[in-house]
Structure 1
Amino acid sequence: MMQNTQATLDQNLHLVDFSQVTPAQLKTQVITALDKSNAFLDTLDTQSVPNQAQAALNDIIEFDHIGLELDRSWGIVSHLNSVMSNDDIRHVHHELLPLLSAYGTRVGQHKPLYQRYQTLKNDSAFFDTLEPARKRATELAIQSFELSGVALPEEQQKTYADIQSELSTLSAKFSDNILDATQAFALPLSDEQLAGITDSGLAMLANAGEQYKAKLLDSKQKTQAEIDALPTPYYVATLDIPVYLAVMTHADDRNLRETLYKAYVTRASEFDEHKNGKGEPLNNSEVMEKILSLREQKAKLLGFNNYAEVSLSRKMADTVPQVESFLRNLASKATPSAQQDLKQLQAEANKHGIATNDLQPWDTAYIAEKVKQAKFSLSQEEIRPYFPLPKVIDGLFSIVNRLYGIKAVECTEHVTRWHDDVRFYQLFDTNTNGNTDDDTDNNGTLIGGFYFDLYARQGKRGGAWMSGFQSRYHYAGNTPEQGYQQLPVCFMVGNFTPPTDGKPSLLTHNEVTTLFHEFGHGLHHLLTQVSISDVAGVNGVEWDAVELPSQFMENWAWDSDGINLISAHVDTGEPLPKDKLDALLAAKNFQSGMQTLRQIEFALFDLLLHAKSPAPDYQGILATLDSVRDDVAIMQTPAYNRFANGFSHIFAGGYAAGYYSYKWAELLSADAFSKFEEDGIFNPQTGKAFRESILSVGGSLPAKTNFENFRGRSATIDALLRHSGFTDTQNNEVA
């Protein structure tokens, strides 16, 4: 273990002292940073636009540097609101949103700043001398100005600003309602309802029960005496994903599964009776209507027919018909496999007293687990002890060391964290000295740092994500003293089962692939060699290509050599036995047809929803989803299902008219990995090529160019169909 001193932590990491961070301080920092940035824009308003490209570039660089403080302070607020949400941080976050929205709109519509970018771009002789990253950043900035309404008349610019402000507030409300609805549900269970649930699942239910008791006491719903009278352990089902899946996958009680399923798919809908702290309903229906209406208004202001066209204007894909054709083509290839998947589930369901025509969505995870055990002798619970989180992390680090010559070293001292469960690591490039041992002084060249926050808890948004908090950046300044450098730092967040009963967190293989996925995003952010923040790491990468490195990384969690590196039984240290390894690999494409159709259902719904004009009301939203299900789904969905009301990706995230990106990028990642299949999955030269062509260049070149530089050709669908277990492998260039 590395013995850290404060001097060991490179100053270029600029780590946050989370022990000193308070919501009030963060609010002050954000407002101060906003004032500085606005003051700079004020000075540009009083100056004439430089005729010289170099002078224009100097102003651009200076503005970017001043904005660094705002990016940092707001980034901390946003992060803490996601991982440690409470009334104080939520209040500050929401109070600042309109200010940030107004500032973002001002920047996007600031003609003197826009004209400086145009001056730079229009001086072709000077522009041609710039590094590719600066050229790309300039081109993307000009596009961003145009999509922000810089060319609109003043009155329409004001309308645009109002729309942006309201959208930011509505998206935050959508997220709040989902988080509050998820955490408001708690269902104490009887002993009879526990049948079939695994030991690890029972431990989670018991832990949820203790949290529920504390909540009852804090809210004065029960006295201490009443709490003491409750049984120990006290089992409570919640909608937190690890607990929810433990019940849905293993509980024999079909009525319990249906109860939990209905609660989950009706969160934040008209069927959800919970209220927030202000006594307001958590129903997202009206929020969704307003978001879609405002997005359409914005699109029309900018001269587009609908919001889908706005979204696609900055993606690899060109048009709505192109994306729709891609999705429907993939659906047609997945449907035969999905139909076989369904027949397999129905046959197994019959053995458990469920009629073929009565298989329901709350049965599928439960029956699928039975099929795995019967067909593959495989249970996620049986293999969970072989994937203790510390071993998985060590193996993951070994894999990326072999692929890219990098080394992650945990820092245990002189680093403050927002929660005791969080861990921080420095990332070193060992190629600089070839050293891969644990010698403190020979780790190589420091290239960045990352935090792991991997366990589910109250006040934390569900799901898993990577947040590129701090980009690689260099500022020369006018003197050496003014120079400033920062290395990339990111947050990688999960919602895995916390350690219980003195044992580390034990992961299902699905959770293992999730960790690999987020680490792929992290590597994209950390391994960049670009020092212009706008196109460093994941910044500036087209949205439908940004999932390429993450989905690509998942392949090593499926490879037998990779699994040997990440598995060791929590008690014996034995790697995953061959019979279980063979079963896991044999089951890789189990239910892949149905899973693919489910992803396509979400993607088509998102695309068609945002391509509609006029924007649909709530009933129109539900009708659009029903229509898509009629086209591609092979299993009936209950009429009460309100999946859309919890579709945070498109209503509170960045995936509006872009959810197809997961499948688009999966095609790219499968094709990229096929190069490793040809050369050897740990081939260091192929790893070096992927790092240099994809990971290092970030958004400094178009994603299509980066892919073709690595693969030597355009992407084809062949590898995706093969990896998914679909048989039709006709060559078809699509990306």
Structure 2
Amino acid sequence: MNNPILEQIDLPIFDQIKAEHIYPAITAIINENKTKIKEIENYDISKIDYKFVDELSLLDYKLSNAWSQIGHLNSVMNSDLYRGEYNKCRELITDYYSNLSQNTKIFNLYKELKKSTIFESLDAIQQKIITDEIKDFKLGGVGLDEDKKTVFKELQSKLAKLASKFEENVLDETNNYTLNITDDILLEGIPEDILESAKSLAKENDQKGYTFTLHFPCYVPVLQYAKNRNLRKEMYEAYAKKASEFSDKKFDNTTIIKDILSHRASIAKLLGFNNYAELSIDRKMASGPDEVCSFLRDLSNKAKPYGLKDFEELKEAAKKDGVEDLEAWDVAFYSETIKQDKYNINDQEIKQFFPENKVIEGLFNVIKNLYDIDIVESKAPIWHKDVKYFELLQNNKIIGSFYLDLYARKNKRGGAWMDECISKSKFNVNIDYPVAYLTCNFSSPIGNNPALFTHDEVITLFHECGHGLHHLLTEISEFNVSGIKGVEWDAVELPSQFMENFCWDWNVIKNMTQHIHTKESMPKELFNKLIASKNFQSGMQSLRQIEFALFDILIHMESNPDNLDVISTLESVRDEVAVVRPPHWNRFPHSFSHIFAGGYAAGYYSYKWAEVLSADVFEEFENNGVLSKDVGSRFRREILSVGGSRPAKESFIKFKGREPSIDALLRHNGLAA
């Protein structure tokens, strides 16, 4: 059987990959890798040199490239058949890396190389790779006795399965829910384009009227604009109870959360840590969980007065409307009401100025101005007709490329993300540049009109593109530290949050807007209103992110989570930092995929941590011209191009000339005294 995963010459052959190709491809690569590892194990330790590090990196490169395309398709074109094959292979890969990280013979090669005189002759990047690998082996359980190694591997295997199941439950519950409405009176206030989409979906489902879902492009506008309070509550309740004991039992994540926390704590204890938070932070910029808690609480104390003021304003607006008890499903609606009254601006008005083609053009112009890079659309095999493929050109040479998958659809994971397709590496043969996936979940075009983006969606696109540039503009060819690999998790959001700042600059906005009907750019007067509204409810928004981050770190600081009541912990965090209190049946943790199915366990604080870094970095652009080529070149040289080849703090200081300061973040968020 021909297998497009194994036959890949340059770019993945996405239009040919099927579920039946997955297992044979992964087993073939793993078996080949195992044979080579056996050979490396027998190297003469007295004659060891850097060659074996390269050989092991090449094995990782091959497996990562194959698994990247498989994992991506599982996220964007999910099906029962594909999911089954993916999960089967995920077990194989978890087992493969568990065995490798506990391979004493390979570990000894690294240790011997570090002790040898050869180590001193290696460059700083190679030395960092060896040091990082030794630490990773230790965190992988190489020092455990055989019985504990077995337990460790079993726990890792269970965690991999639980993470997959958690994400599947969230996706299935989201896809499973629809609300059909035939009475137009109930829909008062909802924007016309949202109603058009809902009507189109109803028609697809052979229903009358309008069909609403829990997908973000549908759910959020209903909460923001629907005047019918009962409709808002019904949608909010379905969303808040997603994948919990209050919903379909087969999608309930309650037990999965308990098991994940228990297994993580067990792994941490096996490795000599008091709790999983200590283990997680061991490879991050922060010194430990206590510093993270202090950072979050300090930020909370600064934001709380502003958050309380924001909430009082909400309650006043609700009272004017006859609502005495403001509930969670009222917050977005009255926030939008206040924003319109206060700034004479609303998201739907702004949206008319952000057609997809103009936004993409504006984004590419920012990149051109900062880094002297051209981005052009090109051809490549794709997985869905809506996907586009672009190449980055410098001096007419391709230096990177990416796939852009913008629209929400059924069987596509929610949210927005960047992921690596191919990493820059000395192992690249037919394609000598990195390739990325940029994935969002925006509203698709309606009829002959282009897709229109809210300003928040424009910010999201710039954010993910920032991650993409971190991957694509690396100049490091050592696979282990190329692009975002090897970058401390609490610094990895720096380039993405940095890019968000350009969405608030007039010189950028005026050239990336065009009204859907009049074809005119956004008027300066409207932009000024947008700027005035920038820090609208920033106190509440900051506290919400701090709530998530503090909840995450605290549940992972528990040394015995078997006795932990996750919801009680969340409530106590809300007692401390929140100003908006969701109802007791809100089950936010049950769809908190970042920490239960993604890489942010005991690391969600990274968003706020990196926000400090990115605001401080952007201050340099504010002081020298927002689109300064000189500062852009320095940012590329000291932050983007070096990847994980040196500590993030060192890269920051190289760019800024000093240690990070929180002042710029507080000023940007309107929280400065």
* TM-score with structure 2 setting the length: 0.97
What CA distance in whole angstroms lies between the structure 2 residues aligned with 1:288 and 1:616?
A: 11
Could you tell me which residue of structure 2 aligns to residue 573 of structure 1? Answer: 519
State the shift of 1:12 in Å: 12
What CA distance in whole angstroms lies between the structure 1 residues aligned with 2:653 and 2:421?
A: 29
Q: Residue by residue, what CA displacement relative to the aligned partner does 1:167-225 show, whole Å, maximum 9, x if unpaired? A: 000000000100011111111012121111011111221233234x1xxxxxxxxxxxx
Could you tell me which residue of structure 2 aligns to residue 385 of structure 1? Answer: 352
Could you tell me which residue of structure 1 aligns to residue 4 of structure 2? Answer: none
Amino acid at match of 2:458: V
Amino acid at match of 1:505: A
Residue 374 of structure 2: SS of its match in structure 1? strand
Could you tell me which residue of structure 1 aligns to residue 171 of structure 2? Answer: 179
Could you tell me which residue of structure 1 aligns to residue 35 of structure 2? Answer: 39
What CA distance in whole angstroms lies between the structure 1 residues aligned with 2:468 and 2:265?
A: 33
Could you tell me which residue of structure 2 aligns to residue 479 of structure 1? Answer: none
Is the CA contact 1:474–1:485 (under 8 Å) kept in the aligned structure 2? Answer: no
Choose which of 16, 19, 23 in structure 2 pairs with 1:23.
19
State the shift of 1:39 in Å: 1.1
What CA distance in whole angstroms lies between the structure 2 residues aligned with 1:388 and 1:583?
A: 20
Could you tell me which residue of structure 2 aligns to residue 218 of structure 1? Answer: none
Amino acid at match of 1:555: N
Is the CA contact 1:447–1:488 (under 8 Å) kept in the aligned structure 2? Answer: yes
Q: Residue by residue, what CA displacement relative to the aligned partner does 1:111-139 show, whole Å, maximum 9, x if unpaired? A: 1211222122222x422332332222221
Deviates more, 1:94-103 or 1:511-520: 94-103
Q: Does 1:333 align with 2:302?
A: yes
Is the CA contact 1:428–1:448 (under 8 Å) kept in the aligned structure 2? Answer: yes
Choose which of 110, 116, 138 in structure 1 pairs with 2:103.
110
What CA distance in whole angstroms lies between the structure 1 residues aligned with 2:612 and 2:579?
A: 23
Could you tell me which residue of structure 2 aligns to residue 166 of structure 1? Answer: 158
What CA distance in whole angstroms lies between the structure 2 residues aligned with 1:115 and 1:210?
A: 64
1:505-544 equivalences under 5 Å are 505-544=451-490
Shift in alpha-carbon separation, 1:371–1:312, aligned structure 2, 3 A: same
Amino acid at match of 1:449: S
Q: Does 1:401 align with 2:368?
A: yes
Could you tell me which residue of structure 2 aligns to residue 142 of structure 1? Answer: 134
Residue 305 of structure 1: SS of its match in structure 2? coil
State the shift of 1:486 in Å: 3.1
For the aligned residues, what is the CA RMSD?
A: 1.5
Choose which of 699, 707, 712 in structure 1 pairs with 2:644.
699
- Equivalences, count: 666
Amino acid at match of 1:257: R
Choose which of 418, 434, 440 in structure 2 pairs with 1:494.
440
Choose which of 610, 622, 630 in structure 1 pairs with 2:556.
610
What CA distance in whole angstroms lies between the structure 1 residues aligned with 2:371 and 2:413?
A: 32
Q: Does 1:563 align with 2:532?
A: no
Could you tell me which residue of structure 2 aligns to residue 260 of structure 1? Answer: 235
Q: Residue by residue, what CA displacement relative to the aligned partner does 1:612-661 show, whole Å, maximum 9, x if unpaired? A: 120145x6111110110000011222000000111100000000000000
Is the CA contact 2:494–2:613 (under 8 Å) kept in the aligned structure 1? Answer: yes
Choose which of 554, 565, 585 in structure 1 pairs with 2:531.
585
Choose which of 27, 35, 47 in structure 2 pairs with 1:52.
47
Choose which of 616, 619, 640 in structure 2 pairs with 1:671.
616
Q: Does 1:374 align with 2:341?
A: yes
Residue 251 of structure 2: SS of its match in structure 1? coil
Q: Does 1:455 align with 2:407?
A: yes
What CA distance in whole angstroms lies between the structure 2 residues aligned with 1:621 and 1:237?
A: 31
Q: Does 1:354 align with 2:319?
A: no
State the shift of 1:485 in Å: 6.1
What CA distance in whole angstroms lies between the structure 1 residues aligned with 2:322 and 2:569?
A: 34
Is the CA contact 2:22–2:86 (under 8 Å) kept in the aligned structure 1? Answer: no
Residue 506 of structure 1: SS of its match in structure 2? coil
Is the CA contact 1:471–1:486 (under 8 Å) kept in the aligned structure 2? Answer: no
What CA distance in whole angstroms lies between the structure 2 residues aligned with 1:363 and 1:399?
A: 37
Choose which of 1, 11, 14 in structure 1 pairs with 2:10.
14
What CA distance in whole angstroms lies between the structure 1 residues aligned with 2:456 and 2:258?
A: 34
Percentage identity across paired residues of the two chains: 43
Is the CA contact 1:424–1:452 (under 8 Å) kept in the aligned structure 2? Answer: yes
Q: Does 1:241 align with 2:241?
A: no
1:155-304 equivalences under 5 Å are 155-189=147-181, 190-211=183-204, 213=205, 227=206, 230-231=207-208, 234-273=209-248, 281-304=250-273
State the shift of 1:475 in Å: 3.5
Q: Residue by residue, what CA displacement relative to the aligned partner does 1:379-401 show, whole Å, maximum 9, x if unpaired? A: 00001010011100000000110
Choose which of 118, 122, 126 in structure 1 pairs with 2:115.
122
Q: Residue by residue, what CA displacement relative to the aligned partner does 1:284-314 show, whole Å, maximum 9, x if unpaired? A: 0000110000001100000000000000000
What CA distance in whole angstroms lies between the structure 2 residues aligned with 1:322 and 1:13?
A: 47
Shift in alpha-carbon separation, 1:13–1:540, aligned structure 2, 3 A: farther
State the shift of 1:64 in Å: 1.7
Q: Does 1:64 align with 2:57?
A: yes
Deviates more, 1:343-352 or 1:319-328: 343-352
Could you tell me which residue of structure 2 aligns to residue 133 of structure 1? Answer: 125
State the shift of 1:334 in Å: 0.3
Shift in alpha-carbon separation, 1:676–1:463, aligned structure 2, 3 A: same
Amino acid at match of 2:540: M
State the shift of 1:53 in Å: 4.0
State the shift of 1:501 in Å: 2.3
What CA distance in whole angstroms lies between the structure 2 residues aligned with 1:318 and 1:14?
A: 41
Amino acid at match of 1:255: N
Residue 469 of structure 1: SS of its match in structure 2? strand
What CA distance in whole angstroms lies between the structure 1 residues aligned with 2:152 and 2:8?
A: 38
State the shift of 1:565 in Å: 2.0
Deviates more, 1:563-572 or 1:694-703: 563-572
Choose which of 377, 385, 389 in structure 2 pairs with 1:420.
385
Shift in alpha-carbon separation, 1:626–1:724, aligned structure 2, 3 A: same
What CA distance in whole angstroms lies between the structure 2 residues aligned with 1:713 and 1:34?
A: 45
Residue 128 of structure 1: SS of its match in structure 2? helix
What CA distance in whole angstroms lies between the structure 2 residues aligned with 1:475 and 1:511?
A: 36
Runs of at least 5 residues in structure 1 that lack an aligned partner in the other structure: 1-10, 214-226, 276-280, 431-443, 477-482, 729-735
What CA distance in whole angstroms lies between the structure 2 residues aligned with 1:720 and 1:183?
A: 37
What CA distance in whole angstroms lies between the structure 2 residues aligned with 1:286 and 1:507?
A: 38
What CA distance in whole angstroms lies between the structure 2 residues aligned with 1:37 and 1:627?
A: 48
Choose which of 392, 416, 426 in structure 2 pairs with 1:464.
416
What CA distance in whole angstroms lies between the structure 2 residues aligned with 1:720 and 1:471?
A: 32
Could you tell me which residue of structure 1 aligns to residue 582 of structure 2? Answer: 637
Residue 664 of structure 1: SS of its match in structure 2? helix
Deviates more, 1:556-565 or 1:459-468: 556-565
Residue 125 of structure 2: SS of its match in structure 1? helix
